[in-house]
C-alpha cells in the first residue's frame, strides 16, 4: 500500500504565531507515528517561519518511521542540515525565498548539471533523494538523468481540476508515473491531496510509493481529530 507521510509544518506555524511550545511539534511527530502514519515530513525554510532547524534535530531523536526533509537545496544551510541529520529521504524543491508554499517542480533539463551534483552529494551520504517535478514527460526523463532515486509529482493541478473532470485531471499524472516506472524511478506525490481526491489518485497512479500531506490533513484534524484523520487518509490509500 502507498505510504502516508504526514507533513507537520502547520503545527509549527500555529506554535510560532503565539510563541512558547504549544502545540508541541515533537509531540505532533510522535503522535503521527503512534496514530498510524508511515512517515513524518518537515519543510524548513530559511526564515524558519514554521519548522525551525532545531525542530528537525529534535524530531530526528524520536523518529521511528521514515523521516523526509523537504527544502531548497540551493540554500547551503539546508544542505548542511540534511547531511547532519541524515533522514531517510530528502526531497529537493526549487523554492524561491519569498514563496508561501511550493508552486512548481524542477526544470530538470535546464538544471541537470546542478542536480547531478547535488543528488550525488546526498546519495553519497546514504540518503534517498527525491526531486519535486511537474507531471511532464520531459521533466521525468530529465530527473532520471540526474541519478535521483525518486521523483515527487507536484499535484496542485490535479487537485484544482479534479472537481470538473477527474479523468482529464489524472491523465498527465498517469503518463508521468508510467514513464517514471519505465525509467526505474520511485514515485511519490504531494500538494493539495485531500480526503476528496486522494483515493482516485492512488487508484490510478501506478507504482505510487508515498504521498506527503500536510495542510489538508491538519485542517481536517481540527474538526475530525488527529488520530481519526490519519486513519481516514490511510483508508484512501487502501486501493
- Is residue 167 flagged as an active site residue? no
Mean pLDDT across 108-117 = 97
Q: Read off the pTM.
A: 0.95
Which residue of the set 43, 50, 66, 210 is catalytic? 43
Q: Where are the domains of the chain?
A: 3-236
| pLDDT at residue 60 is higher than 80 | yes
| pLDDT at residue 132 is higher than 70 | yes
CA angle (206, 211, 217) in 5-degree steps: 140
As a whole number, the mean pLDDT across the chain is 95
Q: What is the distance between the alpha carbons of residues 110 and 185, in angstroms, rounded to a whole number?
A: 20
| pLDDT at residue 99 is higher than 80 | no
Q: What is the distance between the alpha carbons of residues 53 and 154, in angstroms, rounded to a whole number?
A: 24
217 neighbors 230 (Cβ within 8 angstroms): yes
Which residue of the set 50, 66, 152, 191 is catalytic? 191
Residue 143: per-residue pLDDT: 98
Of the candidates 225, 228, 230, the residue with the CA atom closest to the CA atom of residue 211: 230
Which residue of the set 66, 70, 152, 210 is catalytic? 70
What tens digit of pLDDT does each residue of 180-227 get? 999 999 999 999 999 999 999 999 999 999 999 999 999 999 999 999
What tens digit of pLDDT does each residue of 27-49 get? 999 999 999 999 999 999 988 99
Name residue, grid cell 511550493.
Answer: 102
Q: What is the distance between the alpha carbons of residues 208 and 210, in angstroms, rounded to a whole number?
A: 6
| pLDDT at residue 64 is higher than 80 | yes
- Is residue 70 flagged as an active site residue? yes
CA 197 distance to own-chain centroid: 17
ω into 2 cis (within 30 of 0): no
| pLDDT at residue 119 is higher than 90 | yes
CA 122 distance to own-chain centroid: 17
- Is residue 210 flagged as an active site residue? no
Task: For residue 220, count other CB atoms closer than 10 A to its CB.
Answer: 19
| pLDDT at residue 100 is higher than 90 | no
> DSSP class of residue 88?
S
> DSSP class of residue 34?
H
* Architecture of the CATH domain 3-236: Alpha-Beta Barrel (3.20)
Banded pLDDT at 103 (limits 50, 70, 90): low
Of the candidates 140, 131, 214, the residue with the CA atom closest to the CA atom of residue 183: 140
Amino acid at each position: 500500500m502507498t505510504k502516508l507521510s504526514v507533513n507537520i509544518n502547520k503545527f509549527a506555524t500555529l506554535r510560532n504565531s503565539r510563541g512558547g511550545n504549544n502545540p508541541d511539534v515533537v509531540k505532533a511527530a510522535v503522535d503521527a507515528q503512534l496514530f498510524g502514519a508511515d512517515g513524518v515530513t518537515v519543510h524548513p525554510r530559511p526564515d524558519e517561519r514554521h519548522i525551525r532547524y532545531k525542530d528537525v534535530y529534535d524530531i530526528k531523536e524520536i523518529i521511528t518511521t521514515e523521516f523526509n526533509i523537504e527544502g531548497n537545496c540551493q540554500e547551503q544551510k539546508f544542505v548542511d542540515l540534511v547531511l547532519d541529520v541524515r533522514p531517510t529521504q530528502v526531497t529537493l524543491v526549487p523554492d524561491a525565498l519569498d514563496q508561501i508554499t511550493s508552486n512548481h517542480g524542477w526544470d530538470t533539463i535546464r538544471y541537470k548539471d546542478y542536480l547531478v551534483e547535488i543528488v550525488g552529494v546526498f546519495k553519497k551520504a546514504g540518503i534517498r533523494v527525491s526531486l519535486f517535478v511537474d507531471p511532464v514527460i520531459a521533466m521525468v526523463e530529465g530527473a532520471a538523468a540526474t541519478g535521483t532515486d525518486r521523483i515527487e509529482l507536484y499535484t496542485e493541478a490535479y487537485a484544482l481540476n479534479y472537481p470538473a473532470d477527474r479523468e482529464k485531471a489524472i491523465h498527465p499524472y498517469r503518463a508521468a508515473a508510467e514513464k517514471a516506472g519505465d525509467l526505474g524511478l520511485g514515485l511519490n506525490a504531494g500538494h493539495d491531496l485531500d480526503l476528496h481526491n486522494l483515493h482516485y489518485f492512488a487508484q490510478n497512479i501506478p507504482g505510487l510509493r508515498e504521498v506527503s500531506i500536510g495542510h489538508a490533513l491538519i485542517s481536517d484534524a481540527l474538526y475530525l481529530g488527529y488520530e481519526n484523520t490519519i486513519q481516514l487518509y490511510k483508508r484512501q490509500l487502501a486501493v
